[in-house]
Structure 1
Protein backbone atom coordinates (compact mmCIF):
# COMPACT_ATOMS: atom_id res chain seq x y z
CA UNK A 1 0.00 0.00 0.00
CA UNK A 2 1.54 3.32 -1.03
CA UNK A 3 2.12 6.08 1.48
CA UNK A 4 -0.33 8.46 -0.19
CA UNK A 5 -3.27 6.12 0.41
CA UNK A 6 -2.25 5.66 4.05
CA UNK A 7 -2.01 9.40 4.54
CA UNK A 8 -5.44 9.92 2.98
CA UNK A 9 -7.27 7.51 5.32
CA UNK A 10 -5.35 8.82 8.35
CA UNK A 11 -6.18 12.42 7.51
CA UNK A 12 -9.95 11.81 7.76
CA UNK A 13 -9.99 12.05 11.53
CA UNK A 14 -12.93 14.40 11.83
CA UNK A 15 -16.44 13.39 10.78
CA UNK A 16 -17.88 15.33 7.87
CA UNK A 17 -21.01 17.38 8.37
CA UNK A 18 -23.11 14.65 6.75
CA UNK A 19 -21.56 11.90 8.90
CA UNK A 20 -21.99 13.99 12.05
CA UNK A 21 -25.65 14.61 11.23
CA UNK A 22 -26.15 10.89 10.56
CA UNK A 23 -24.44 9.61 13.72
CA UNK A 24 -26.35 12.02 15.96
CA UNK A 25 -29.67 11.50 14.15
CA UNK A 26 -32.77 9.74 15.45
CA UNK A 27 -32.55 7.30 12.51
CA UNK A 28 -29.17 5.88 13.56
CA UNK A 29 -30.23 5.78 17.21
CA UNK A 30 -33.37 3.87 16.19
CA UNK A 31 -31.22 1.42 14.23
CA UNK A 32 -29.21 0.80 17.39
CA UNK A 33 -32.41 0.30 19.41
CA UNK A 34 -33.59 -2.20 16.78
CA UNK A 35 -30.29 -4.08 16.78
CA UNK A 36 -30.07 -4.18 20.59
CA UNK A 37 -33.66 -5.48 20.76
CA UNK A 38 -32.85 -8.21 18.23
CA UNK A 39 -29.76 -9.16 20.24
CA UNK A 40 -31.65 -9.39 23.54
CA UNK A 41 -34.34 -11.53 21.90
CA UNK A 42 -31.64 -13.75 20.40
CA UNK A 43 -30.19 -14.34 23.89
CA UNK A 44 -33.59 -15.43 25.15
CA UNK A 45 -34.28 -17.79 22.26
CA UNK A 46 -30.69 -19.11 22.25
CA UNK A 47 -31.24 -20.25 25.83
CA UNK A 48 -34.49 -21.95 24.83
CA UNK A 49 -32.90 -23.51 21.74
CA UNK A 50 -29.92 -24.94 23.66
CA UNK A 51 -32.28 -26.41 26.25
CA UNK A 52 -34.47 -27.79 23.44
CA UNK A 53 -31.52 -29.44 21.67
CA UNK A 54 -30.36 -30.91 24.97
CA UNK A 55 -33.69 -32.23 26.28
CA UNK A 56 -36.12 -32.48 23.34
CA UNK A 57 -33.84 -32.97 20.36
CA UNK A 58 -35.52 -33.86 17.05
CA UNK A 59 -32.31 -33.80 14.99
CA UNK A 60 -29.59 -36.39 14.54
CA UNK A 61 -26.62 -36.18 16.90
CA UNK A 62 -24.51 -34.83 14.05
CA UNK A 63 -26.94 -32.04 13.20
CA UNK A 64 -27.44 -31.27 16.87
CA UNK A 65 -23.70 -30.80 17.47
CA UNK A 66 -23.44 -28.46 14.47
CA UNK A 67 -26.42 -26.44 15.70
CA UNK A 68 -25.04 -26.20 19.25
CA UNK A 69 -21.69 -24.90 17.98
CA UNK A 70 -23.49 -22.41 15.74
CA UNK A 71 -25.60 -21.21 18.68
CA UNK A 72 -22.49 -20.62 20.80
CA UNK A 73 -20.91 -18.73 17.90
CA UNK A 74 -24.07 -16.63 17.55
CA UNK A 75 -23.95 -15.65 21.24
CA UNK A 76 -20.34 -14.46 20.85
CA UNK A 77 -21.26 -12.53 17.70
CA UNK A 78 -24.30 -10.89 19.29
CA UNK A 79 -22.30 -9.89 22.37
CA UNK A 80 -19.66 -8.27 20.17
CA UNK A 81 -22.30 -6.38 18.20
CA UNK A 82 -23.99 -5.27 21.43
CA UNK A 83 -20.71 -3.84 22.71
CA UNK A 84 -20.09 -2.08 19.38
CA UNK A 85 -23.53 -0.45 19.38
CA UNK A 86 -23.33 0.64 23.02
CA UNK A 87 -19.95 2.29 22.37
CA UNK A 88 -21.32 4.09 19.33
CA UNK A 89 -24.46 5.32 21.13
CA UNK A 90 -22.34 6.56 24.03
CA UNK A 91 -19.96 8.41 21.71
CA UNK A 92 -22.78 9.93 19.61
CA UNK A 93 -24.34 11.39 22.77
CA UNK A 94 -21.23 12.50 24.67
CA UNK A 95 -19.33 13.86 21.64
CA UNK A 96 -22.30 15.06 19.57
CA UNK A 97 -20.77 18.54 19.25
CA UNK A 98 -17.20 17.29 18.64
CA UNK A 99 -16.95 15.87 15.09
CA UNK A 100 -13.30 14.91 15.53
CA UNK A 101 -14.12 12.56 18.42
CA UNK A 102 -17.12 10.82 16.84
CA UNK A 103 -15.35 8.28 14.54
CA UNK A 104 -13.36 5.32 15.85
CA UNK A 105 -9.74 4.83 14.82
CA UNK A 106 -8.90 1.36 13.53
CA UNK A 107 -6.69 0.68 16.56
CA UNK A 108 -9.69 1.27 18.85
CA UNK A 109 -11.61 -1.49 17.08
CA UNK A 110 -9.02 -4.22 16.47
CA UNK A 111 -10.44 -6.71 18.99
CA UNK A 112 -14.06 -6.07 17.94
CA UNK A 113 -13.19 -6.40 14.24
CA UNK A 114 -11.33 -9.66 14.82
CA UNK A 115 -14.16 -11.29 16.80
CA UNK A 116 -16.96 -9.74 14.72
CA UNK A 117 -15.68 -10.91 11.34
CA UNK A 118 -14.58 -14.36 12.50
CA UNK A 119 -18.03 -15.03 13.99
CA UNK A 120 -19.71 -13.45 10.95
CA UNK A 121 -17.92 -15.75 8.52
CA UNK A 122 -18.47 -18.77 10.78
CA UNK A 123 -22.21 -18.00 10.81
CA UNK A 124 -22.20 -17.69 7.03
CA UNK A 125 -20.52 -21.04 6.47
CA UNK A 126 -22.77 -22.83 8.96
CA UNK A 127 -25.09 -23.34 5.99
CA UNK A 128 -22.33 -25.45 4.41
CA UNK A 129 -22.11 -27.78 7.42
CA UNK A 130 -25.89 -28.11 7.71
CA UNK A 131 -26.44 -28.70 3.99
CA UNK A 132 -23.75 -31.35 3.60
CA UNK A 133 -24.71 -32.99 6.88
CA UNK A 134 -28.13 -33.63 5.33
CA UNK A 135 -26.57 -34.71 2.03
CA UNK A 136 -24.36 -37.30 3.73
CA UNK A 137 -27.29 -38.60 5.77
CA UNK A 138 -29.29 -38.99 2.57
CA UNK A 139 -26.69 -40.80 0.44
CA UNK A 140 -24.86 -42.86 3.07
CA UNK A 141 -27.42 -43.37 5.86
CA UNK A 142 -25.73 -46.43 7.41
CA UNK A 143 -22.32 -44.77 7.63
CA UNK A 144 -23.93 -41.55 8.82
CA UNK A 145 -25.85 -43.23 11.66
CA UNK A 146 -22.76 -45.06 12.92
CA UNK A 147 -20.33 -42.11 12.59
CA UNK A 148 -22.45 -39.06 13.36
CA UNK A 149 -19.95 -37.24 15.56
CA UNK A 150 -17.13 -37.84 13.08
CA UNK A 151 -19.27 -36.36 10.31
CA UNK A 152 -20.19 -33.26 12.30
CA UNK A 153 -16.61 -32.65 13.52
CA UNK A 154 -15.29 -33.02 9.97
CA UNK A 155 -17.87 -30.56 8.60
CA UNK A 156 -17.23 -28.08 11.43
CA UNK A 157 -13.50 -28.31 10.70
CA UNK A 158 -14.12 -27.43 7.03
CA UNK A 159 -16.41 -24.61 8.20
CA UNK A 160 -13.58 -23.28 10.38
CA UNK A 161 -11.09 -23.51 7.48
CA UNK A 162 -13.49 -21.51 5.28
CA UNK A 163 -13.83 -18.94 8.08
CA UNK A 164 -10.10 -18.52 8.67
CA UNK A 165 -9.38 -18.48 4.94
CA UNK A 166 -11.95 -15.76 4.31
CA UNK A 167 -10.63 -13.67 7.19
CA UNK A 168 -7.06 -14.11 5.95
CA UNK A 169 -7.90 -13.02 2.41
CA UNK A 170 -10.05 -10.11 3.50
CA UNK A 171 -8.59 -8.64 6.66
CA UNK A 172 -5.31 -10.24 7.68
CA UNK A 173 -2.39 -7.85 7.37
CA UNK A 174 -4.55 -4.80 6.66
CA UNK A 175 -2.71 -1.72 8.04
CA UNK A 176 -4.33 -0.42 11.28
CA UNK A 177 -5.17 2.93 9.74
CA UNK A 178 -8.25 5.04 9.14
CA UNK A 179 -11.43 6.06 10.94
CA UNK A 180 -14.89 4.47 10.90
CA UNK A 181 -18.25 5.47 12.47
CA UNK A 182 -18.83 1.90 13.76
CA UNK A 183 -16.30 -0.68 14.90
CA UNK A 184 -17.85 -3.39 12.70
CA UNK A 185 -17.23 -1.49 9.47
CA UNK A 186 -14.56 -3.03 7.27
CA UNK A 187 -11.33 -0.98 7.17
CA UNK A 188 -11.05 1.27 4.13
CA UNK A 189 -7.78 -0.41 3.15
CA UNK A 190 -9.45 -3.86 3.01
CA UNK A 191 -9.58 -4.09 -0.78
CA UNK A 192 -11.01 -7.63 -1.06
CA UNK A 193 -14.15 -6.97 0.98
CA UNK A 194 -16.59 -6.91 -1.97
CA UNK A 195 -15.12 -10.10 -3.46
CA UNK A 196 -15.49 -11.85 -0.10
CA UNK A 197 -19.16 -10.90 0.13
CA UNK A 198 -19.74 -12.23 -3.39
CA UNK A 199 -17.99 -15.50 -2.45
CA UNK A 200 -20.12 -15.86 0.69
CA UNK A 201 -23.27 -15.32 -1.37
CA UNK A 202 -22.14 -17.96 -3.89
CA UNK A 203 -21.49 -20.54 -1.14
CA UNK A 204 -24.90 -19.90 0.41
CA UNK A 205 -26.60 -20.20 -2.98
CA UNK A 206 -24.94 -23.57 -3.62
CA UNK A 207 -25.94 -24.79 -0.15
CA UNK A 208 -29.58 -23.81 -0.73
CA UNK A 209 -29.61 -25.85 -3.96
CA UNK A 210 -28.09 -28.85 -2.13
CA UNK A 211 -30.57 -28.58 0.75
CA UNK A 212 -33.63 -28.26 -1.48
CA UNK A 213 -32.39 -31.29 -3.47
CA UNK A 214 -31.94 -33.34 -0.28
CA UNK A 215 -35.39 -32.30 0.94
CA UNK A 216 -36.87 -33.39 -2.41
CA UNK A 217 -35.15 -36.78 -2.12
CA UNK A 218 -36.39 -37.19 1.47
CA UNK A 219 -39.99 -36.46 0.48
CA UNK A 220 -39.72 -38.80 -2.52
CA UNK A 221 -38.25 -41.56 -0.35
CA UNK A 222 -41.00 -41.15 2.26
CA UNK A 223 -43.71 -41.44 -0.40
CA UNK A 224 -42.15 -44.66 -1.70
CA UNK A 225 -41.96 -46.11 1.80
CA UNK A 226 -45.57 -45.11 2.48
CA UNK A 227 -46.60 -47.06 -0.64
CA UNK A 228 -44.40 -50.15 -0.20
CA UNK A 229 -43.81 -50.62 3.53
CA UNK A 230 -46.32 -51.52 6.21
CA UNK A 231 -43.84 -51.27 9.08
CA UNK A 232 -44.74 -48.37 11.40
CA UNK A 233 -41.09 -48.10 12.44
CA UNK A 234 -39.80 -47.72 8.89
CA UNK A 235 -42.54 -45.27 8.00
CA UNK A 236 -41.82 -43.25 11.14
CA UNK A 237 -38.07 -43.04 10.38
CA UNK A 238 -38.87 -41.80 6.87
CA UNK A 239 -41.16 -39.15 8.34
CA UNK A 240 -38.43 -38.07 10.78
CA UNK A 241 -35.94 -37.69 7.90
CA UNK A 242 -38.35 -35.42 6.06
CA UNK A 243 -38.99 -33.36 9.20
CA UNK A 244 -35.26 -32.93 9.86
CA UNK A 245 -34.51 -32.02 6.23
CA UNK A 246 -37.39 -29.54 6.21
CA UNK A 247 -36.14 -27.89 9.40
CA UNK A 248 -32.61 -27.54 8.05
CA UNK A 249 -33.98 -26.22 4.75
CA UNK A 250 -35.95 -23.52 6.58
CA UNK A 251 -32.88 -22.62 8.66
CA UNK A 252 -30.64 -22.28 5.62
CA UNK A 253 -33.14 -20.23 3.62
CA UNK A 254 -33.63 -17.83 6.54
CA UNK A 255 -29.87 -17.62 7.14
CA UNK A 256 -29.38 -16.93 3.44
CA UNK A 257 -32.07 -14.24 3.37
CA UNK A 258 -30.68 -12.47 6.44
CA UNK A 259 -27.01 -12.71 5.49
CA UNK A 260 -27.88 -11.52 1.99
CA UNK A 261 -28.89 -8.24 3.65
CA UNK A 262 -25.35 -7.66 4.85
CA UNK A 263 -23.40 -9.18 1.94
CA UNK A 264 -25.26 -7.99 -1.16
CA UNK A 265 -26.87 -5.06 0.66
CA UNK A 266 -23.56 -3.57 1.74
CA UNK A 267 -22.06 -4.21 -1.69
CA UNK A 268 -24.90 -2.33 -3.41
CA UNK A 269 -24.64 0.50 -0.91
CA UNK A 270 -20.96 0.83 -1.72
CA UNK A 271 -21.63 0.72 -5.46
CA UNK A 272 -24.30 3.44 -5.27
CA UNK A 273 -22.51 5.44 -2.59
CA UNK A 274 -21.67 8.13 -5.14
CA UNK A 275 -25.38 8.75 -5.77
CA UNK A 276 -26.16 9.16 -2.05
CA UNK A 277 -25.18 11.99 0.22
CA UNK A 278 -22.80 11.20 3.07
CA UNK A 279 -25.65 11.60 5.53
CA UNK A 280 -28.05 9.31 3.61
CA UNK A 281 -25.44 6.57 3.24
CA UNK A 282 -24.53 6.57 6.93
CA UNK A 283 -28.19 6.52 7.97
CA UNK A 284 -28.89 3.42 5.87
CA UNK A 285 -25.73 1.39 6.50
CA UNK A 286 -26.34 0.66 10.24
CA UNK A 287 -29.48 -1.32 9.37
CA UNK A 288 -27.55 -3.79 7.17
CA UNK A 289 -26.45 -6.21 9.88
CA UNK A 290 -27.80 -9.41 8.37
CA UNK A 291 -25.81 -11.83 10.53
CA UNK A 292 -27.28 -10.23 13.66
CA UNK A 293 -30.77 -10.86 12.27
CA UNK A 294 -29.77 -14.40 11.22
CA UNK A 295 -28.56 -15.12 14.76
CA UNK A 296 -32.09 -14.43 15.99
CA UNK A 297 -33.67 -16.64 13.32
CA UNK A 298 -31.40 -19.60 14.17
CA UNK A 299 -32.57 -20.25 17.77
CA UNK A 300 -36.10 -19.12 16.96
CA UNK A 301 -36.48 -21.73 14.21
CA UNK A 302 -34.84 -24.47 16.30
CA UNK A 303 -37.18 -23.87 19.23
CA UNK A 304 -40.42 -23.34 17.30
CA UNK A 305 -39.79 -26.08 14.74
CA UNK A 306 -38.97 -28.55 17.52
CA UNK A 307 -42.22 -27.81 19.33
CA UNK A 308 -44.17 -28.16 16.08
CA UNK A 309 -42.41 -31.39 15.13
CA UNK A 310 -43.01 -32.96 18.54
CA UNK A 311 -46.70 -32.12 18.27
CA UNK A 312 -46.91 -33.52 14.73
CA UNK A 313 -44.86 -36.54 15.80
CA UNK A 314 -47.44 -37.49 18.44
CA UNK A 315 -50.24 -37.15 15.91
CA UNK A 316 -48.31 -39.17 13.31
CA UNK A 317 -47.48 -41.98 15.74
CA UNK A 318 -51.12 -42.14 16.79
CA UNK A 319 -52.30 -42.34 13.19
CA UNK A 320 -49.75 -44.99 12.19
CA UNK A 321 -50.31 -47.24 15.18
CA UNK A 322 -54.10 -47.02 15.07
CA UNK A 323 -54.33 -47.43 11.30
CA UNK A 324 -51.83 -50.19 10.67
CA UNK A 325 -51.03 -52.00 13.90
CA UNK A 326 -48.58 -54.78 13.02
CA UNK A 327 -48.06 -56.36 9.60
CA UNK A 328 -50.24 -59.35 10.44
CA UNK A 329 -53.22 -57.21 11.27
CA UNK A 330 -52.72 -55.23 8.08
CA UNK A 331 -52.62 -58.42 5.94
CA UNK A 332 -55.81 -59.69 7.62
CA UNK A 333 -57.55 -56.42 6.77
CA UNK A 334 -56.38 -56.74 3.17
CA UNK A 335 -57.72 -60.32 2.96
CA UNK A 336 -61.10 -59.21 4.25
CA UNK A 337 -61.22 -56.39 1.74
CA UNK A 338 -60.48 -58.85 -1.09
CA UNK A 339 -63.25 -61.31 -0.13
Structure 2
Protein backbone atom coordinates (compact mmCIF):
# COMPACT_ATOMS: atom_id res chain seq x y z
CA UNK A 1 0.00 0.00 0.00
CA UNK A 2 1.15 3.54 -0.74
CA UNK A 3 0.71 5.16 2.68
CA UNK A 4 0.52 8.96 2.94
CA UNK A 5 3.20 10.68 5.01
CA UNK A 6 0.96 11.44 8.00
CA UNK A 7 0.59 7.71 8.68
CA UNK A 8 3.30 5.57 10.24
CA UNK A 9 3.96 1.85 10.15
CA UNK A 10 1.86 -0.55 12.19
CA UNK A 11 2.57 -1.00 15.88
CA UNK A 12 5.93 -2.32 16.94
CA UNK A 13 6.04 -5.98 18.01
CA UNK A 14 5.94 -5.09 21.72
CA UNK A 15 3.01 -2.69 21.25
CA UNK A 16 1.18 -5.27 19.13
CA UNK A 17 1.57 -8.04 21.70
CA UNK A 18 0.47 -5.73 24.52
CA UNK A 19 -2.64 -4.63 22.61
CA UNK A 20 -3.73 -8.16 21.72
CA UNK A 21 -3.15 -9.35 25.30
CA UNK A 22 -5.21 -6.53 26.80
CA UNK A 23 -8.05 -7.18 24.35
CA UNK A 24 -8.06 -10.86 25.24
CA UNK A 25 -8.34 -10.07 28.95
CA UNK A 26 -11.51 -8.03 28.31
CA UNK A 27 -13.00 -10.65 25.96
CA UNK A 28 -12.67 -8.31 22.97
CA UNK A 29 -11.56 -9.41 19.55
CA UNK A 30 -9.22 -7.37 17.31
CA UNK A 31 -11.87 -7.19 14.58
CA UNK A 32 -14.52 -5.58 16.80
CA UNK A 33 -15.52 -2.02 15.84
CA UNK A 34 -15.67 0.90 18.26
CA UNK A 35 -18.86 2.96 18.74
CA UNK A 36 -19.59 5.68 16.18
CA UNK A 37 -19.20 8.33 18.89
CA UNK A 38 -16.75 6.95 21.46
CA UNK A 39 -16.57 8.84 24.75
CA UNK A 40 -13.37 9.86 26.52
CA UNK A 41 -14.10 10.61 30.18
CA UNK A 42 -12.38 11.71 33.39
CA UNK A 43 -10.11 14.25 31.73
CA UNK A 44 -8.42 16.31 34.48
CA UNK A 45 -9.73 19.88 34.66
CA UNK A 46 -7.53 22.33 32.76
CA UNK A 47 -6.05 19.80 30.34
CA UNK A 48 -5.12 21.69 27.17
CA UNK A 49 -5.42 18.80 24.72
CA UNK A 50 -5.61 15.02 24.40
CA UNK A 51 -3.95 12.73 21.87
CA UNK A 52 -5.77 9.79 20.32
CA UNK A 53 -4.03 7.08 18.28
CA UNK A 54 -6.24 5.40 15.71
CA UNK A 55 -5.12 2.01 14.42
CA UNK A 56 -6.24 0.80 10.99
CA UNK A 57 -5.35 -2.85 10.58
CA UNK A 58 -5.92 -6.02 8.61
CA UNK A 59 -5.41 -9.61 9.72
CA UNK A 60 -4.67 -12.83 7.92
CA UNK A 61 -3.83 -16.18 9.57
CA UNK A 62 -3.11 -14.51 12.90
CA UNK A 63 -0.80 -11.89 11.39
CA UNK A 64 -1.69 -8.26 11.98
CA UNK A 65 -0.67 -5.48 9.62
CA UNK A 66 -1.81 -1.92 9.02
CA UNK A 67 -1.24 1.73 9.81
CA UNK A 68 -1.77 4.15 12.69
CA UNK A 69 -2.42 7.88 12.87
CA UNK A 70 -2.23 10.27 15.82
CA UNK A 71 -4.91 12.95 16.37
CA UNK A 72 -4.43 15.93 18.68
CA UNK A 73 -7.76 17.25 20.04
CA UNK A 74 -7.62 20.70 21.71
CA UNK A 75 -9.91 21.24 24.71
CA UNK A 76 -11.66 24.45 25.73
CA UNK A 77 -12.59 25.01 29.36
CA UNK A 78 -14.90 27.63 30.96
CA UNK A 79 -13.03 30.69 32.16
CA UNK A 80 -12.44 30.59 35.90
CA UNK A 81 -11.27 33.00 38.56
CA UNK A 82 -10.52 32.92 42.26
CA UNK A 83 -12.52 36.12 42.73
CA UNK A 84 -16.19 36.26 43.56
CA UNK A 85 -16.97 37.93 40.25
CA UNK A 86 -16.43 34.73 38.31
CA UNK A 87 -17.36 31.15 39.11
CA UNK A 88 -15.92 27.93 37.74
CA UNK A 89 -16.89 24.30 37.24
CA UNK A 90 -17.07 22.44 40.58
CA UNK A 91 -13.78 20.74 41.48
CA UNK A 92 -15.43 17.33 41.41
CA UNK A 93 -16.65 17.77 37.84
CA UNK A 94 -14.69 16.64 34.79
CA UNK A 95 -14.96 17.51 31.14
CA UNK A 96 -16.29 14.98 28.67
CA UNK A 97 -15.38 15.00 24.99
CA UNK A 98 -15.56 12.52 22.12
CA UNK A 99 -13.36 11.41 19.28
CA UNK A 100 -15.28 13.67 16.90
CA UNK A 101 -14.73 16.63 19.29
CA UNK A 102 -18.46 17.05 20.05
CA UNK A 103 -18.50 19.32 23.11
CA UNK A 104 -20.71 18.55 26.07
CA UNK A 105 -21.86 20.57 29.05
CA UNK A 106 -21.33 19.07 32.51
CA UNK A 107 -23.06 20.61 35.50
CA UNK A 108 -23.79 19.67 39.10
CA UNK A 109 -27.04 18.07 40.20
CA UNK A 110 -29.88 20.52 40.87
CA UNK A 111 -28.40 22.96 38.34
CA UNK A 112 -30.96 24.47 35.95
CA UNK A 113 -30.18 24.37 32.23
CA UNK A 114 -32.10 25.61 29.20
CA UNK A 115 -32.35 24.45 25.61
CA UNK A 116 -30.85 26.69 22.93
CA UNK A 117 -32.08 24.47 20.08
CA UNK A 118 -34.87 21.98 19.46
CA UNK A 119 -34.44 18.99 21.78
CA UNK A 120 -36.44 15.99 22.89
CA UNK A 121 -37.27 14.60 26.33
CA UNK A 122 -36.90 10.83 26.39
CA UNK A 123 -37.95 8.04 28.70
CA UNK A 124 -34.64 6.24 28.26
CA UNK A 125 -31.00 7.32 27.96
CA UNK A 126 -30.83 5.67 24.53
CA UNK A 127 -32.77 8.10 22.35
CA UNK A 128 -35.29 6.54 19.98
CA UNK A 129 -38.60 7.70 18.57
CA UNK A 130 -40.37 5.04 20.62
CA UNK A 131 -39.23 6.49 23.97
CA UNK A 132 -39.48 10.17 23.04
CA UNK A 133 -41.98 11.87 25.35
CA UNK A 134 -41.98 15.41 24.02
CA UNK A 135 -40.33 17.78 21.54
CA UNK A 136 -39.27 21.22 22.74
CA UNK A 137 -39.01 23.53 19.71
CA UNK A 138 -36.26 26.12 19.42
CA UNK A 139 -37.41 29.28 21.20
CA UNK A 140 -36.37 32.88 21.54
CA UNK A 141 -34.06 33.42 24.51
CA UNK A 142 -36.69 34.69 26.96
CA UNK A 143 -38.90 31.63 26.32
CA UNK A 144 -36.34 28.83 26.18
CA UNK A 145 -37.47 25.66 28.04
CA UNK A 146 -35.71 24.99 31.36
CA UNK A 147 -34.82 21.74 33.11
CA UNK A 148 -33.39 20.88 36.53
CA UNK A 149 -30.64 18.28 36.36
CA UNK A 150 -31.33 15.48 38.86
CA UNK A 151 -28.92 12.81 37.65
CA UNK A 152 -26.74 11.42 34.87
CA UNK A 153 -26.77 8.44 32.53
CA UNK A 154 -25.24 7.08 29.35
CA UNK A 155 -26.78 5.56 26.26
CA UNK A 156 -25.87 2.10 25.08
CA UNK A 157 -23.34 3.80 22.74
CA UNK A 158 -21.77 5.63 25.68
CA UNK A 159 -23.24 9.08 25.03
CA UNK A 160 -23.74 11.22 28.14
CA UNK A 161 -27.29 12.23 29.15
CA UNK A 162 -28.91 14.37 31.82
CA UNK A 163 -31.76 13.01 33.88
CA UNK A 164 -33.96 16.08 34.30
CA UNK A 165 -37.22 17.50 35.56
CA UNK A 166 -39.21 19.97 33.46
CA UNK A 167 -39.43 23.23 35.44
CA UNK A 168 -41.37 25.31 32.91
CA UNK A 169 -44.17 26.81 34.98
CA UNK A 170 -47.60 27.11 33.34
CA UNK A 171 -46.55 24.50 30.74
CA UNK A 172 -48.39 21.23 30.04
CA UNK A 173 -45.09 19.42 30.49
CA UNK A 174 -44.29 20.97 33.89
CA UNK A 175 -43.01 18.31 36.29
CA UNK A 176 -42.29 15.71 33.59
CA UNK A 177 -39.04 13.78 34.01
CA UNK A 178 -36.79 12.12 31.47
CA UNK A 179 -33.46 12.32 29.67
CA UNK A 180 -32.01 15.07 27.48
CA UNK A 181 -28.72 15.56 25.65
CA UNK A 182 -25.70 17.11 27.37
CA UNK A 183 -24.31 18.59 24.14
CA UNK A 184 -23.23 22.20 24.67
CA UNK A 185 -24.67 23.22 21.31
CA UNK A 186 -28.14 22.29 22.63
CA UNK A 187 -28.18 22.96 26.38
CA UNK A 188 -26.46 25.54 28.58
CA UNK A 189 -26.65 26.60 32.25
CA UNK A 190 -29.44 29.14 32.61
CA UNK A 191 -27.47 31.29 35.09
CA UNK A 192 -24.49 33.41 34.10
CA UNK A 193 -21.14 32.20 35.41
CA UNK A 194 -19.17 35.37 34.65
CA UNK A 195 -19.81 38.99 35.56
CA UNK A 196 -20.30 41.83 33.13
CA UNK A 197 -19.89 45.54 33.84
CA UNK A 198 -23.29 46.27 32.30
CA UNK A 199 -26.43 44.17 31.97
CA UNK A 200 -29.72 44.80 30.16
CA UNK A 201 -33.15 43.72 31.39
CA UNK A 202 -34.76 41.62 28.61
CA UNK A 203 -37.79 40.10 30.37
CA UNK A 204 -40.97 41.76 29.01
CA UNK A 205 -42.32 42.03 32.58
CA UNK A 206 -39.05 43.47 33.88
CA UNK A 207 -37.21 42.17 36.97
CA UNK A 208 -37.12 42.96 40.68
CA UNK A 209 -33.99 43.79 42.67
CA UNK A 210 -33.71 42.80 46.33
CA UNK A 211 -31.84 43.72 49.48
CA UNK A 212 -30.78 40.13 50.23
CA UNK A 213 -28.77 37.58 48.19
CA UNK A 214 -31.64 35.13 48.67
CA UNK A 215 -33.77 37.58 46.65
CA UNK A 216 -35.91 38.62 49.61
CA UNK A 217 -36.80 42.15 50.63
CA UNK A 218 -37.85 43.77 47.37
CA UNK A 219 -35.93 47.00 46.77
CA UNK A 220 -36.69 48.09 43.23
CA UNK A 221 -38.35 47.12 39.92
CA UNK A 222 -36.46 47.56 36.64
CA UNK A 223 -38.24 47.75 33.29
CA UNK A 224 -37.36 45.85 30.14
CA UNK A 225 -34.61 47.63 28.25
CA UNK A 226 -33.03 49.29 31.30
CA UNK A 227 -29.23 49.06 31.42
CA UNK A 228 -27.77 48.48 34.90
CA UNK A 229 -24.24 48.76 36.28
CA UNK A 230 -22.84 45.64 37.96
CA UNK A 231 -20.43 45.55 40.88
CA UNK A 232 -19.83 41.79 40.97
CA UNK A 233 -21.35 38.33 40.55
CA UNK A 234 -21.94 36.12 43.60
CA UNK A 235 -23.10 32.53 44.03
CA UNK A 236 -26.20 31.50 45.96
CA UNK A 237 -26.49 27.71 46.25
CA UNK A 238 -26.42 26.52 42.61
CA UNK A 239 -27.54 29.86 41.15
CA UNK A 240 -25.81 33.22 40.70
CA UNK A 241 -26.79 36.81 41.49
CA UNK A 242 -25.62 40.17 40.25
CA UNK A 243 -24.71 42.75 42.86
CA UNK A 244 -25.58 46.13 41.37
CA UNK A 245 -23.59 49.28 41.92
CA UNK A 246 -26.20 50.43 44.47
CA UNK A 247 -25.80 47.17 46.46
CA UNK A 248 -29.06 45.56 45.33
CA UNK A 249 -29.19 41.89 44.31
CA UNK A 250 -30.58 40.84 40.93
CA UNK A 251 -31.02 37.42 39.34
CA UNK A 252 -28.37 36.32 36.81
CA UNK A 253 -30.93 34.24 34.88
CA UNK A 254 -30.14 34.53 31.15
CA UNK A 255 -33.85 34.51 30.30
CA UNK A 256 -34.39 37.69 32.31
CA UNK A 257 -31.19 39.70 31.84
CA UNK A 258 -28.45 39.81 29.22
CA UNK A 259 -24.80 40.71 29.65
CA UNK A 260 -23.78 43.96 28.01
CA UNK A 261 -25.66 47.02 26.81
CA UNK A 262 -28.46 45.96 24.46
CA UNK A 263 -29.79 48.75 22.28
CA UNK A 264 -33.58 48.88 22.18
CA UNK A 265 -35.97 51.02 20.16
CA UNK A 266 -37.63 53.99 21.90
CA UNK A 267 -39.61 55.35 18.98
CA UNK A 268 -40.53 54.20 15.45
CA UNK A 269 -42.05 55.78 12.34
CA UNK A 270 -44.28 53.77 10.02
CA UNK A 271 -43.18 53.25 6.40
CA UNK A 272 -46.61 51.92 5.43
CA UNK A 273 -50.01 51.83 7.15
CA UNK A 274 -49.96 49.30 10.02
CA UNK A 275 -52.32 48.00 12.69
CA UNK A 276 -52.10 47.70 16.45
CA UNK A 277 -53.29 44.46 18.02
CA UNK A 278 -54.47 43.53 21.49
CA UNK A 279 -52.00 40.66 21.96
CA UNK A 280 -48.58 39.61 20.74
CA UNK A 281 -50.05 36.99 18.37
CA UNK A 282 -52.10 39.61 16.48
CA UNK A 283 -55.47 37.92 17.03
CA UNK A 284 -57.57 41.07 17.46
CA UNK A 285 -57.02 44.39 15.71
CA UNK A 286 -57.52 47.49 17.84
CA UNK A 287 -56.25 50.48 15.89
CA UNK A 288 -54.96 51.54 12.47
CA UNK A 289 -51.91 53.82 11.99
CA UNK A 290 -51.32 55.85 8.84
CA UNK A 291 -48.06 55.99 6.93
CA UNK A 292 -45.38 58.23 8.59
CA UNK A 293 -47.03 57.94 12.02
CA UNK A 294 -44.60 58.20 14.96
CA UNK A 295 -45.18 55.70 17.80
CA UNK A 296 -43.48 55.47 21.21
CA UNK A 297 -42.09 51.99 22.02
CA UNK A 298 -42.42 50.56 25.55
CA UNK A 299 -40.63 47.26 24.95
CA UNK A 300 -40.61 44.10 22.85
CA UNK A 301 -41.88 40.55 22.91
CA UNK A 302 -42.31 37.55 20.60
CA UNK A 303 -45.29 35.73 19.17
CA UNK A 304 -45.84 32.00 19.67
CA UNK A 305 -44.06 31.51 16.32
CA UNK A 306 -41.06 33.55 17.50
CA UNK A 307 -41.80 36.73 15.52
CA UNK A 308 -40.65 39.93 17.19
CA UNK A 309 -43.28 42.53 18.12
CA UNK A 310 -43.01 45.99 19.66
CA UNK A 311 -45.09 46.73 22.75
CA UNK A 312 -46.81 50.10 22.62
CA UNK A 313 -49.50 51.84 24.63
CA UNK A 314 -52.61 49.70 24.27
CA UNK A 315 -51.13 46.68 22.53
CA UNK A 316 -48.57 45.43 20.00
CA UNK A 317 -47.33 46.40 16.54
CA UNK A 318 -45.01 44.80 14.02
CA UNK A 319 -41.22 45.09 14.38
CA UNK A 320 -40.65 44.20 10.72
CA UNK A 321 -38.26 46.73 9.13
CA UNK A 322 -40.27 46.51 5.89
CA UNK A 323 -43.11 48.35 7.58
CA UNK A 324 -41.48 50.51 10.27
CA UNK A 325 -38.30 52.53 10.79
CA UNK A 326 -36.60 52.94 14.17
CA UNK A 327 -36.25 56.65 14.93
CA UNK A 328 -34.31 56.29 18.21
Same fold (TM over 0.5): no
TM-score tier, shorter chain, comes to under 0.3
TM-score when scaled to structure 1? 0.20
Structure of higher CA gyration radius = 2
Q: Which one has more relative contact order, counting CA pairs under 8 Å at least 6 apart?
A: 1
Q: As a proportion of its length, which structure holds more helix?
A: 1
